[in-house]
A and B are shown apart, each in its own frame.
Chain A
Amino acid sequence: MSASGSSPLSAGQPAQEGGGAALTPVLTRRWSAPSSWTLASYRSLDGYQALPQALAVEPGRLVELMKASGLRGRGGAGFPTGMKWSFLPQGDGKPHYLVVNADEGEPGTCKDVPYMMADPHALVEGCIITCYAIRAPFCAIYIRGEALHAIRRVTAAVREAREAGFLGRDILGSGFDLEIVVHAGAGAYICGEETALLDSLEGRRGQPRLKPPFPAVAGLYASPTVVNNVETIASVPAIVLGGSDWYRSMGTEKSPGPKIYSLSGHVTRPGQYEAPMGTTLRQLLVSAGGMLDGIPLKFFTPGGSSTPIFTPEHLDVPLSFDDVAAAGSMLGTTALMCFNETVSVPWAVWKWLEFYKHESCGKCTPCREGTGWLVQILRRVVSGAGTPEDLDTLTDAAANIAGRSFCALGDAAATPILSSFKYFRGEYEDLVSGRTPPVIDARQLVGAH
């Protein structure tokens, strides 16, 4: 888990010795406190201090504060949060809603569930402040169904907050009313797509909606809705307390603030490392004790399986939205899956594709049909039955999915193939030419579906 649990809300610490990351425990600062998930623990560490301050100002000022802080959405797209809030039409006579996207489900992405386990009240407080800012009387927290532990914990936190008077009618005498509902999803990756999430929340089949209209205009129950990620909303109380200047003292100009980096894979100490935006993997790896057993890094994802892979040459790319994009990938959810030299790239890509095939919602043709087809070809390739033609088909089919599907899931499925061919085409060629042995025995695929 995070390094220090007790540092004050101050700008980043100096870089660790040996070139490690300058850890900035803002969001994770309470994680190692005893029973950190309880109201008592939260209150002892500045919990619910931001709320009265927020309720004392006019809601529009909170929107301005978010804009000034430069906070960008932590769900992967990095859309400026304050701007998203300001899109809600005011005085339209419709109810407004906040929906927290806690349907964390991408391979490698593992920040929101630990967050909700360790510090659910920060999320709840963030929800209250956000709802006040966007004038929403109702908030839904949509949590991935498999994360039952997180669902229980957030549910308990909502109950505690209600009992303490932070939810319900006339919160802290402000006249503001709010209800929060914790909703358990059914475990579909597509429901992390915000419009599919809204449909699912409404009790419909979780498939993405046509945009426009965007959720800010017609979201939950066709009413103006803000959909934000857990980490985004959890950042709100800290920004209210610390102010935008403090927040901007961390991170880069265009990607300010701290970020939870999730290191997984062949790393000595995998886990959550909160550091300023723009920290590099090289720094993070130092903090995490380096690569496991000293075996060198072969490739990594900067932000989950849907982001184009990086290689050791990208170890010094600052992990901020713009820097990663400039280097040809996406920051995504800062899920840094690190693979060492023992890993076959085609094998890893095949495994990811199995996931996307399984999770394709089926709405649009390229993703529904294409993911299944790519998996079939990859199975052949990794089991030694592939042909050179298959490699052309793989790249062509992936290119035919990317940018042609209804939502980003299709892009996500095509990405591992396209990016792995960019850096590791040779590995595929070696497999189909027999220069390297099959990664798996074809018999292992019997019955695969």
Chain B
Amino acid sequence: MTQVATPPAAGGTGDGEDRPVPPGHVRLTIDGITVDAPKGELVIRAAERIGIAIPRFCDHPLLDPVGACRQCLVEVEMGGRPMPKPQASCTQTVGDGMVVRTQVTSPVAEKAQRSNLEFLLLNHPLDCPICDKGGECPLQNQTLANGSATSRMHEAKRVFTKPVPVSTEILLDRERCVLCQRCTRFSDQIAGDRFIDLLERGSSQQIGINSDEPFQSYFSGNTIQICPVGALTSTAYRFRSRPFDLVSTGTVCEHCASGCALRTDHRTGVVMRRLAAPDPEVNEEWNCDKGRFGFGYLHEGDRLARPLVRDADGQLQPASWTDAMTAAAQGLARARDDGGVGVLTGGRLTVTDAYAYAKFARVALRTNDVDFRARRHSAEEASFLADRVAGVTPSTGGPTYADLEAAPAVLLVALEPEDESPILFLRLRKAARRGVPVFTVGAVESRGSRKLSATLLPALPGAEADLLADLTADARPVVAGAAAADRNRAGQLLRASGAVVLVGERAAETPGLLTAVGRLADATGARLAWVPRRAGERGALEAGALPGLLPGGRPVTDPAARAHVEQAWGVELPARPGRDTAAMIASVLARAERDERALGLVGPAPSPDLPRPAESPAADDRPAGHGAVGLVERVVETVAGSVSGAVHHLRDLVTGEHEDAAVAPGPQAPAEPGLAGLLLGGVELDDLPDPAAALAAVAATGFVVSLEIRASAVTALADVVLPVAAVTQKSGAFLDWEGRHRPFDAALPTPGVLDDGRVLDTLGVEMDVDLYTQTPVAARADMARAVPPAPAGGTSPGTAPGPADARRGPAGTAPRDGQGFVLVSWRTALDGGRLLDGEPHLAGTARPDVVRLSPRAAELLGVGDGAPVQVHGPSGGTVTLPLQVTAMVDEAVWLPGRIRATPLVALLGAGSGDRVRVRPAAGGEGL
């Protein structure tokens, strides 16, 4: 924006008027100052740019103008003629030759604003001293600046019952409300969740909700922040603090890969609240409720405070850091030499923490057995990440938030942005509202896709790759029908310059899908971005926390890359790719099974080696007493009680249903003894593809070191537990889905609380290696030495489609044949994950757990909305939930990824893509 601001020249014109007006601009004066403003700009913004703040309540730069509060009235003269009435500067656009007089120079404007404030205060309660907004309240500030000390109203003020909960986490005080409609406009225009609206009229007008529909929006907390008064307050924060007692720190959200800038406010060492911080390039001025309210876990009672070491009696005992480090170092060294130690990290790690794990694995544990993917994953995914994701950032030309708004089309694959990356969803919605067509490949027309006006390209799990292949083909077969028309349109638009394909982490669940995505991007020229759910995954990829990748996303098998890292680290690196998460767990279990067999506890295994996938018999045909299964059953019963449904999946895992176990053989295969130790950092076992198997594996591992914030399922099984800093207590950085670096400082620097990088660095010293990760700054410098600088503006070394594409199977696998429905599932945003602990008000806004079927499927089953429906897994697990009839593929049934905080796979023994049976719970024929 061009602006020419000159002070009012005495007796003359400003010299700005000598310059030509830039194209697309108009020239006007505001309070005597000449301004060039782009056509269409609102007067209130033009004034702001030259430092004239016109008071306002309803105006918000990211919301459509409404002109409701009338606080921003100014005098306007156009073409030499004064407009008869003062104009609202938040709705008045600039005009050439316009003369604007604000409260600064116009007594009319000044009086209009002062009297409007009087109107607003007539019925406004005098409760500033106990109001949460007091101290940061635009109305209070306005009143202090321009308000009258006394009121001319002698009657009693209007009263309402207060507060009214509009949801479990938001309380409404209608007396304080100035009816600016920011909250309703936000909910309507930005979030698309029109759950609050104006009710009644005149002086009875108020904000309200439908009594049957609370304010169940993932974005509702933003309304508290943009409320210009204390009408909307947070249940959690209400009456907890005064704004002027808070210490604010700019931070970055740890809940997902959207990368939102936050403001963390703490008081006496306790985080009181978190707000969205403005960042136009990323989250604009919004964040989601998870990021805003989901910090109660920081203060949960199960925070680990001291290191724990298992004593001779098998009990975990508090220990000094020195003793714990010694025990961990000795145990890890022993295990390393006895079969190896695998490193599993979760999604919460910062870039430098992930780097510390990646380096610790290679340098201290001398292995490539490190994987950040605590979820369903595949070797195909690892190659995809290496080839197409690693090294891509906005500065190397990767797609950005802003690019979405300008894209000719956006295609979503295996991604439900509202649940999995909420602020990405908001930006997509902004783009969609501006006319960007959004297509989504999937089986369910979700609420999120409806709010994006997205066109569903229907595909059952497993069939998405075929659909993408169809979009990829240049000469698509001419098929009649709406679905084909949608596909043709998507195919055409994706070939337009600037189109973007966003693929979610769930793509790894479907063999061939990521390959198909890559081919689609190559064929259409569409830009590609990978959107993981968790904040740490993108950074962990760059840090080399994958079995086949070094820092910078370069393949372990690349001698030049290895040599570069070897030089930087001063060690020799293992040349063969390591095992991924599933393979590490399988390796531990295989070793445990062998040990038990040696002791004669179980019968002989059918084969000493893990069978290839092609050879593995169908899971249901296998005898129940199969070796590893027996072991797992016992372990599971021992450590965690009965976990129904786990057995089936473990069989799959051990026998290679997860191809990686077989595809990526360990360094010493086939004679490798199996892993003797595990180093786990931030891994929630419930998140792993098979929670029961993971639990069994950790229980069976010879030596386990856990770096954790809070006690978890791993803690009880670990030999050494090392407490680490939570995100508020450390500095560092996440990479968001764009690959954008999102650094943050410690909001609550806490002496004695160490981050993962520091703990591993010290542990390394105990094991006679130097990581140089003692601080994030040091770690970053060390990482820079290990990663060659990316060529600016170009693609990084790994992004070209390599020959790797060719070695992975066919581009698509049909859904597994069989009877019943194909299960579709993803994790909803608020599903009882551990980072949501300690915040019941937030949990109260989670969407109710339902089972979704298409109208036709519901009709065939003879059930309607709300009817309880049973879903039966292949091995006996059953889930019963109320039905919500949804526009979706007839053959699909949808369930949330977690039900009452328990993973679906643990309840049902089945995951997305599996066949399940569905029947009415009230009795009747199932399908």
Residues of A that sit less than 8 Å from B by CB: 188, 190, 205, 207, 210, 357-366, 368-373, 376, 380, 389, 393, 396-397, 400, 403-406
Contact = CB atoms under 8 A, between A and B. Distances in A.
Given A369-B120, A400-B115, A210 B202 contact: no
Nearest to A359: B202
Nearest to B181: A363
Contacts of B84: 403
Interface string B170-200: 0000000011000000000000000001101
Contacts of B202: 357-362, 368, 371-372
Nearest to A204: B197
A369 B153 CA distance: 11
Contact of B65 (A190, A210, A360): A210
Interface in B650-695: none
B806 to A, nearest CB: 50
Contacts of A397: 115, 152
B86 A400 contact: no
A189 to B, nearest CB: 10
Interface centre among A368, A400, A406 (most CB of B within 10 A): A368
Nearest to B124: A369
Contact of A376 (B85, B119, B155): B155
A405 B178 CA distance: 15
A369 B203 contact: yes
B67 interface: yes
Contacts of B69: 364-365
Interface of B: 65-71, 73, 84-86, 91, 111-112, 115-116, 118-120, 122-123, 152-155, 158, 178-179, 197-198, 200-205
A386 to B, nearest CB: 10
Contacts of B85: 403-404
A380 B202 CA distance: 21
Contacts of A373: 119, 122, 153
Contacts of B204: 362
A362 B91 contact: no
Contacts of B152: 389, 393, 397
Given A357-B203, A365-B178, A210 B119 contact: no
A400 B204 CA distance: 21
B198 to A, nearest CB: 6
B70 A371 contact: no
Contacts of A368: 119, 179, 202-203, 205
Interface centre among B71, B91, B202, B205 (most CB of A within 10 A): B202
A304 B70 CA distance: 26
A406 B86 contact: no
Nearest to A360: B202
B201 A362 contact: yes
Nearest to B158: A372
A210 B58 CA distance: 13
A376 B85 CA distance: 26
28 contacts: A205-B198, A210-B65, A210-B66, A358-B202, A359-B201, A359-B202, A360-B201, A362-B198, A363-B68, A364-B68, A364-B70, A365-B68, A365-B116, A365-B178, A366-B115, A366-B119, A368-B205, A369-B119, A372-B158, A373-B153, A393-B152, A397-B115, A400-B116, A403-B84, A403-B85, A403-B86, A404-B85, A404-B116
Nearest to B91: A210
Contacts of A406: 67-68, 70
Nearest to A358: B202
A233 B895 CA distance: 58
A362 B84 CA distance: 23
B863 to A, nearest CB: 31
Contacts of A364: 67-70
B203 A366 contact: no
Given A403-B85, A404-B86, A366 B116 contact: yes
Contacts, number: 98
A406 B119 CA distance: 14
Contacts of B153: 373, 376
- DSSP class of A's interface residues: helix, strand, loop or mixed? helix
Interface centre among A190, A362, A369 (most CB of B within 10 A): A369
A205 B200 CA distance: 10
Contacts of A389: 152
A287 B320 CA distance: 107
Given A357-B203, A361-B201, A368-B205, A404 B112 contact: yes
B118 to A, nearest CB: 7
Given A362-B204, A365-B70, 7 more contacts: A190-B201, A363-B68, A364-B70, A371-B203, A372-B122, A372-B123, A400-B112
A350 to B, nearest CB: 15
A6 to B, nearest CB: 46
A372 B66 contact: no
A188 B202 CA distance: 11
Contacts of B68: 363-365, 406
B205 A365 contact: no
Given A365-B70, A406-B67, A188 B201 contact: yes
Contacts of A360: 201-203
Nearest to B111: A400
B120 A365 contact: yes
Contact of A362 (B122, B123, B197, B203): B203
A352 B112 CA distance: 24
Contacts of B154: 376, 380
A210 B90 CA distance: 11
A365 B71 CA distance: 8
Contact of A205 (B86, B178, B197): B197
B67 A210 contact: yes
B157 to A, nearest CB: 11
Contact of A400 (B71, B119, B123): B119
A376 B203 CA distance: 12
Contact of A404 (B70, B122, B155, B179): B70
A357 B158 CA distance: 14
A419 B115 CA distance: 20
Interface centre among A359, A362, A406 (most CB of B within 10 A): A362
A396 B152 CA distance: 11
A437 to B, nearest CB: 22
A373 B68 CA distance: 18
Given A210-B66, A403-B86, A406-B68, A372 B116 contact: no
Nearest to A379: B155
Nearest to B73: A404
B81 to A, nearest CB: 16
A393 B154 CA distance: 11
Contacts of B123: 369, 372
A190 B205 CA distance: 14
B119 A365 contact: yes
Contacts of B70: 364-366, 404-406
A389 B152 CA distance: 9
Contacts of B158: 372
Contact of B122 (A207, A369, A380): A369
Closest 6 CB pairs of A and B: A362-B205, A400-B115, A403-B85, A369-B119, A360-B202, A372-B203
A405 B115 CA distance: 12
A356 to B, nearest CB: 9
B674 to A, nearest CB: 67
Nearest to A387: B154
Contacts of A207: 198
Nearest to A389: B152
A271 to B, nearest CB: 32
Contacts of A369: 119-120, 122-123, 203
A357 B155 CA distance: 16
B134 to A, nearest CB: 21
A107 to B, nearest CB: 16
B647 to A, nearest CB: 55
Nearest to B93: A212
Contacts of B179: 362-363, 365, 368
Contacts of B203: 357, 360, 362, 368-369, 371-372
Contacts of A358: 202
